[in-house]
Amino acid sequence: MKVTAEVVNGKCPTCSELTMLVGLTNELYRCMNCGADLEQRVNGKITYLPTMSSPKDGATPFVKEWNE
Ligand SMILES: [Zn+2]
């Protein structure tokens, strides 16, 4: 198996820049501009969502509900 970092061009939702995104996994990309981790969603078109790491110290999650 060959492991290479996939680099794609995409618009980062965190910094709103069209920039290079480096694939960490099949679904996780990192913005080269601001360093945000983005989740790739493919449903007709590819979109990137900022990932939010869950708090490790019991703090209240930043987003409790996700309303579209
Ligand atoms: Zn960014």
Measured between alpha carbons, how far is 29 from 23 in angstroms, rounded to an integer?
4
| 60 C-alpha to ligand 1 centroid (Å) | 24
Residues 6+ apart with CB under 8 A from 21: 7, 8, 9, 10, 12, 29, 30, 31, 32, 38, 48
Q: How far is the CA of 44 from the centre of ligand 1 (A)?
A: 23
**pLDDT given for residue 54 in this prediction:** 55
pLDDT in tens, the chain (68 residues): 666 778 999 889 999 999 999 999 888 999 999 999 999 888 888 888 888 665 566 555 455 555 55
Taking the centre of ligand 1 as the mean of its atom positions, its distance from the CA of residue 15, in whole angstroms, is: 4
pTM of the model: 0.63
Report CA(33)–ligand 1 centroid distance (Å): 5
C-alpha 18 – ligand 1 centre gap (Å): 8
pLDDT at 53: 60
Three-class SS state of 17: coil
So what's the pLDDT on residue 2? 66
The single-letter code of the amino acid at 15 is C
